[in-house]
Structure 1
Amino acid sequence: MISKKLIDLGVLALRQRNSRGTFKPHISLRFRDNAGDLRTFSIDTTRTVGKHIQPDAYLITHAHSDHYGKSAMLSPNAFCSEKTAMALEIRHDRKYAGSMCKLGDEIDIEGTKVKTFPTEHTAGASAFYWENDVGTRILVTGDVKDASSLPPCDVLITEANYGDPADPSCHFADDLEGMKSALFEKGPVAFGAYEFGKAQRAVELIRGFGYDGAIRMEARTRALTRSMLEDAGELAGLDSGEDDGVFIVAPWNLDKLPWNMKKYVLSCRMDYPYPTIRISDHLDACGLEDMVRRLSPEVTLVYHPGGNRPSKFSKHLNSIGIDSISIDQIGNVLSNEFI
């Protein structure tokens, strides 16, 4: 059994329960450190209430809401990159209470040396890598756009946002030429993009295409972009009185802009009422498979997102000879070896 293989590698994956008795989001990993002490790292999950035993770390891979940093950021046991901490504070108007590091640095968590690597999913998005007492190399990726910097590992914990190889929508390439053409069409243009992650990537692409004018956006998107990007150029508000140029707003706010403005959504989803330009912050199904092959883990655990894609990606990996389990196969029963 693959779960037995994980135990043999000195790693226990478990799902903890909250105060209502239901499973908390995502997973925790239990292992022994080099001193033989039992450690628990909770990954992209909500905090455990104070009256219960706390994990040694809440690892926050990035600041999107479905990775639960809004909750974990209030714990002194939280760990993330500096840009992720900054984004969490801007997005949720709360003070980050944990520890942080520059992306690419190594952090010490109760004696365990944890190395961080960029995944390019958002500004500051970080993968976490460490070894346990038997030398098992553990890598947690979070969501991934570019896996080229990630190191080989023995146990891989990763995502499957577009991990269903049978779904045509999970196969794509970024339509950079389409976005560039839309940008330089005559007249004002608006791009629908989520305030954190996609909006900043849109600004980077727009500047890379050679546009040096003002980019107009909502206040919090503007604050996030200025904090995340060093060369964002001129950013202006939506209330500047100008209705010409380039706009970036949330997809659901496109209808609030003037009716005669050209409007596009930057997404791989096809359910918006506006034309879609395929620009993604994720690897597609082929990219995810290529990543796993290159990292060459003994076991791959697929932990994100909700729904059936983790199971589908895990089944696909098993079908091509890569040992994998998905989050729906993980319970909260502990092995005696780890008590």
Structure 2
Amino acid sequence: MISKKLIDLGVLALRQRNSRGTFKPHISLRFRNDGGDLRTFSIDTTRTPGKHPQPDAYLITHAHSDHHGKSAMLSPNAVCSDKTATALEIRHDKKYVGNICGVGEEIEVEGVKVKTFPTEHTAGATAFYWENDVGTRILVTGDVKDASKLPSCDVLITEANYGDPADPTCHFTDDLEGMKCALFEHESVAFGAYEFGKAQRAVELIRGFGYDGAIRMEARTRALTRSMLEDAGELTGFDSEGEDGVFVVAPWDLNKLPWNIKKYVLSCRMDYTYPTIRISDHLDACGLEDMVRKINPEVTLVYHPGGDRPSKFSKHLNSIGIDSISIDQIGNVLSNEFI
């Protein structure tokens, strides 16, 4: 039984309930450190009210809202990368009060040495790795675009945004040539991209394609891009003279731009009004499976996103001989287990 295997590895996966009696987002892990002290790390979740016992760490893998950094950043027990902390402060206009480290560095949390690794999902996106008292290697990835630098582990906690092998939309490759053609074929072109993550990747690609002119962006997107990228080049606002040029704006703001600008959305979703160029910040279904095979865990726990993708990816892993459990099973299967 997979839940028994986790317990044998010295790891308890659990979901906590909030004041309304429903499960908080995502999960927590309980284990013992080298000194035998019980520790709890909560992963990509909202804070526990102050009147209740706090986890030893709120691990924030990156600054997207569905990973709940807006809440966790207000706890002194928060842990994230320096770029994630900066992005959270810009996005939410609040002071990050937790602990930071550079991606690739090590930070000690309550007697636990936690190593960090890049996932390339966003600037500053971080995977966390540590060992418990019995030597079990634990890796939390968050969302992943590039798994090449992630280490092997015994317990893997990962995502399944595009983890349904039966869904054709979960199989894709980035259409870099399509984006390059769109950039240079039109005198004025706009790319729809979320302000954090996709917008910065769009700028990196635009510069990589050889465009060195100004890129027009909304003020907060400019602030994020300048903070995240060292070589973003010239970034300007919409109030600059003229209507020509290259724009990077939120997909829902494309219709606010002048009619003569050619408009695209950078996404793997196909439900937008404007033409879509497939540019993703995630691994597709095959990439996720290859990542798990490479990391070679004894147990894989799939915790993100909402909906049935975690369950579908977990079932797929089990079908190919990789022991896995999904977040929807945790509250029912593991909440009454103890180390």
State the secondary structure of the residue aligned to 1:153.
coil
Q: Which residue does 2:220 correspond to in 1?
A: 220
Q: Distance in 2 between matches of 1:290 and 1:124?
A: 23
Q: Which residue does 2:25 correspond to in 1?
A: 25
RMSD of Structure 2 on Structure 1 (CA): 0.6
Tell me if the contact between 2:11 and 2:30 (Cα under 8 Å) persists in the aligned partners: yes
Tell me if the contact between 2:47 and 2:75 (Cα under 8 Å) persists in the aligned partners: yes
Instruction: Supply the AA of the counterpart residue of 1:78.
Output: A
1:176-325 mapped onto 2 (5 Å cutoff): 176-325=176-325
The C-alpha deviation readout for 1:132-153, integer Å capped at 9, x for no partner, is 0000000000000000000000
Q: Distance in 2 between matches of 1:70 and 1:196?
A: 14
State the Cα distance separating 1:260 from its structure 2 match. Answer: 1.6
State the Cα distance separating 1:333 from its structure 2 match. Answer: 2.2
Q: Distance in 2 between matches of 1:50 and 1:336?
A: 24
State the secondary structure of the residue aligned to 1:184.
helix
State the Cα distance separating 1:91 from its structure 2 match. Answer: 0.1
Instruction: Supply the AA of the counterpart residue of 1:198.
Output: K
2:335 is the alignment partner of 1:333: yes
Q: Which residue does 1:99 correspond to in 2?
A: 99
Aligned residues: 337
TM-score (norm 2): 0.99
Instruction: Supply the AA of the counterpart residue of 2:319.
Output: S
Q: Distance in 1 between matches of 2:336 and 2:113?
A: 25
Q: Distance in 2 between matches of 1:186 and 1:231?
A: 24
Post-superposition, which runs of at least 4 consecutive aligned residues in structure 1 deviate over 3 A?
A: none
State the Cα distance separating 1:232 from its structure 2 match. Answer: 0.1
Q: Which residue does 2:5 correspond to in 1?
A: 5
Q: Distance in 1 between matches of 2:143 and 2:108?
A: 23
Instruction: Supply the AA of the counterpart residue of 2:9.
Output: L
State the Cα distance separating 1:241 from its structure 2 match. Answer: 3.0
Show structure 2 runs of 5+ residues with no match.
none
State the Cα distance separating 1:334 from its structure 2 match. Answer: 3.5
Q: Distance in 2 between matches of 1:62 and 1:239?
A: 31
1:65-214 mapped onto 2 (5 Å cutoff): 65-214=65-214
Tell me if the contact between 2:12 and 2:338 (Cα under 8 Å) persists in the aligned partners: no
Farther-moved stretch of structure 1 (253-262 vs 234-243)? 234-243
State the Cα distance separating 1:259 from its structure 2 match. Answer: 1.0
State the Cα distance separating 1:28 from its structure 2 match. Answer: 0.1
The C-alpha deviation readout for 1:244-287, integer Å capped at 9, x for no partner, is 11000000000000112100000000000000000000000000
The C-alpha deviation readout for 1:99-123, integer Å capped at 9, x for no partner, is 0001100000001000000000000
State the Cα distance separating 1:187 from its structure 2 match. Answer: 1.4
State the secondary structure of the residue aligned to 1:86.
helix
Q: Distance in 2 between matches of 1:288 and 1:178?
A: 24
State the Cα distance separating 1:186 from its structure 2 match. Answer: 2.9
Tell me if the contact between 2:188 and 2:246 (Cα under 8 Å) persists in the aligned partners: yes
State the Cα distance separating 1:239 from its structure 2 match. Answer: 1.5
State the Cα distance separating 1:97 from its structure 2 match. Answer: 0.6
State the secondary structure of the residue aligned to 1:330.
helix
Instruction: Supply the AA of the counterpart residue of 1:97.
Output: V
1:48-63 mapped onto 2 (5 Å cutoff): 48-63=48-63
Instruction: Supply the AA of the counterpart residue of 2:337.
Output: S
Q: Distance in 2 between matches of 1:163 and 1:260?
A: 38
Tell me if the contact between 2:159 and 2:310 (Cα under 8 Å) persists in the aligned partners: yes
Show structure 1 runs of 5+ residues with no match.
none
Tell me if the contact between 2:126 and 2:141 (Cα under 8 Å) persists in the aligned partners: yes
Q: Distance in 2 between matches of 1:97 and 1:25?
A: 21
Q: Distance in 2 between matches of 1:305 and 1:21?
A: 21
Q: Distance in 1 between matches of 2:13 and 2:280?
A: 29
2:42 is the alignment partner of 1:42: yes
Q: Distance in 2 between matches of 1:186 and 1:58?
A: 46
Q: Distance in 1 between matches of 2:217 and 2:186?
A: 20
Tell me if the contact between 2:13 and 2:335 (Cα under 8 Å) persists in the aligned partners: no
State the Cα distance separating 1:240 from its structure 2 match. Answer: 1.4
State the Cα distance separating 1:293 from its structure 2 match. Answer: 0.2
State the secondary structure of the residue aligned to 1:128.
strand
Q: Distance in 1 between matches of 2:222 and 2:274?
A: 23
State the Cα distance separating 1:231 from its structure 2 match. Answer: 0.3
The C-alpha deviation readout for 1:72-110, integer Å capped at 9, x for no partner, is 000000000000000000000000010000110000000
Instruction: Supply the AA of the counterpart residue of 2:282.
Output: H
Q: Distance in 2 between matches of 1:326 and 1:82?
A: 30
